[in-house]
Amino acid sequence: MKSKFLQPHFLLPLVLIGLLTGISGGWIRLGSLLIPLPSAAANHGLLMVGGFLGTLISIERAMVMSQKTWLLIPLLTGLSTIPFLMGNSETGLLLLMAGSLGLSVIMHLQTLKHPKFHTVLLYLGAASWFVGNFLAWQSGLIAAGSTWWIGFLMFTIVGERLELSQFLPVPSWSKNALKSLLALFSLGLIIPFHTWGNEIMGLSSLLISAWLLVFDMAKVASKKPGQFRYIGIGLRVGYVWLGLHGLILLGMESHALYYDLMLHTFFLGFTFSMIWAHAPIIFPTIFGIRETPFHPILWVSWLGFQLSLAGRIGMSVVGQFEFRKIFGVTNGYLILLHFILMAGIILWKMNQRKKLSSRVTEVTQRNSKNQSLFHTRV
């Protein structure tokens, strides 16, 4: 396959299919049959974490490599949505295992080339994704892999935050503290979940969120105007969600919706807050565009997403299942709206740039013609 036929924007439809079907599966699990896809409901987590998030992260990491053939890795994970939707979970998991193993190879090579703490974390994230996919395939239980998928995104997101802020002055003791907290989190992954694993994961997640709130560059960015404030506030709200996730792991094990609360404070609250905040930085790099998907209008859908998620979590805690469904379905729509707005902003900016370029060309040609006439008369 020639590399010119393997470009990141060609994989975008697979990413969108993973997102759309994952959201529709979530709606069904909430009790709403807006898009009746039973296989999407059964494979909701695999579609969201593997087909959508895993493919997006794999594209990002493959684009760092010199050869575009590494984009075959996100192609495999993106294609996993097809067997999942056909009800063939085993084939879908095999594709995810192959893709996550491929991402681990990419990160192994990148770590050898740049042996820094943040690349090691990204490597651990990819390896955790593979372990989670393998455990889900081996046991036939999605829950067997879910904590390792949390590890995948925890290590990846913290690694990317450190990568983006690696040149900022941070006290050496704080870096060592973060390493200790991440080691504690790793211990929580290894220890069985319902013994001490959940408490250890909860405590470490709570402390990691506190570390990010204090030492991450988002604290500075949130005080600046425009896009910087959007990124900074978005990151810091995400860190609050991570802290809430930790508190739920620590103190709500007896709640009827414990598993649901634990997963969605992390995957929706923390992870999607990171996506919204990183999009203006990462999306132009991934897809090779000059325009950033930011406009103040994004605050509307961003706030709607946060409020609807808070409503869903709150109604889950108090056991109001009808309101939980309403907030949950609304949250899914707002995820889609936010992505649509970002796409629209990019297209609008591209159109504005094209118009400006046309006007500049027109003025240049007019001036050239006037100069020519002037010289002719002289």
Residues 148-179 have pLDDT tens digits of: 999 999 999 999 999 988 777 778 899 999 99
- In this prediction, residue 172 carries a pLDDT of 85
- In this prediction, residue 146 carries a pLDDT of 96
Is a pLDDT exceeding 90 seen at residue 9?
Answer: no
Give dist(CA 46, CA 33) in Å, integer. 19
Report the 10 Å Cβ neighbour count for 157: 25
Lowest mean pLDDT among 42-51, 321-330, 350-359: 350-359
Give dist(CA 188, CA 208) in Å, integer. 13
In a domain, 118, yes or no: yes
Burial 106-136 (b: 16+ CB within 10 A, else e): bbeebbeeeeebbbbbbbbbbbbbbbbbbbb
- In this prediction, residue 369 carries a pLDDT of 67
In a domain, 83, yes or no: yes
High-pLDDT (> 90) share of the chain, %: 79
Q: What are the pLDDT digits (tens) for 69-123?
A: 999 999 999 999 999 999 999 999 999 999 999 999 999 999 999 999 999 999 9
High-pLDDT (> 70) share of the chain, %: 94
- In this prediction, residue 2 carries a pLDDT of 46
- In this prediction, residue 177 carries a pLDDT of 96
Give dist(CA 92, CA 50) in Å, integer. 9
Considering the chain, what is the average pLDDT of its residues?
92
Spatial contact of 11 and 75, defined as CB atoms under 8 Å apart: yes
In a domain, 286, yes or no: no
Question: In Å, how far are 23, 55, 256, 266, 343 from 29, measured between CA atoms?
Answer: 10, 23, 15, 18, 28
Confidence of residue 371 (pLDDT cuts 50, 70, 90): low
In a domain, 8, yes or no: yes
Is a pLDDT exceeding 70 seen at residue 372?
Answer: no
Instruction: Retrieve residue 55's tokens.
Output: 């493919």
In a domain, 176, yes or no: no
Total domains in the fold of the chain: 1
In a domain, 317, yes or no: no
Confidence of residue 283 (pLDDT cuts 50, 70, 90): confident
In a domain, 27, yes or no: yes
Please, which residues have CB within 8 angstroms of residue 273's CB and are 6 or more apart in sequence?
234, 235, 237, 238, 241, 306
Is a pLDDT exceeding 90 seen at residue 364?
Answer: no
DSSP type of residue 80? T
Between 219 and 169, the more confident residue is: 219
| Residue appearing with tokens 């001490």 | 196
Is a pLDDT exceeding 50 seen at residue 62?
Answer: yes
Confidence of residue 34 (pLDDT cuts 50, 70, 90): confident
Stretch 309-334: mean pLDDT: 97
| Residue appearing with tokens 């796409």 | 343
Lowest mean pLDDT among 12-16, 166-170, 292-296: 166-170
Stretch 14-32: mean pLDDT: 95
Instruction: Retrieve residue 116's tokens.
Output: 């820094």
Sign of CA dihedral 201, 303, 344, 278: negative
- DSSP secondary structure string for all residues of 136-186: HHHHS-HHHHHHHHHHHHHHHHHHHHHHHTTTS---HHHHHHHHHHHHHHH
In a domain, 272, yes or no: no
Between 235 and 376, the more confident residue is: 235
Is a pLDDT exceeding 90 seen at residue 318?
Answer: yes
Is a pLDDT exceeding 90 seen at residue 354?
Answer: no
Confidence of residue 317 (pLDDT cuts 50, 70, 90): very high
Confidence of residue 3 (pLDDT cuts 50, 70, 90): low
Task: Show the domain range for 5.
Answer: 1-167
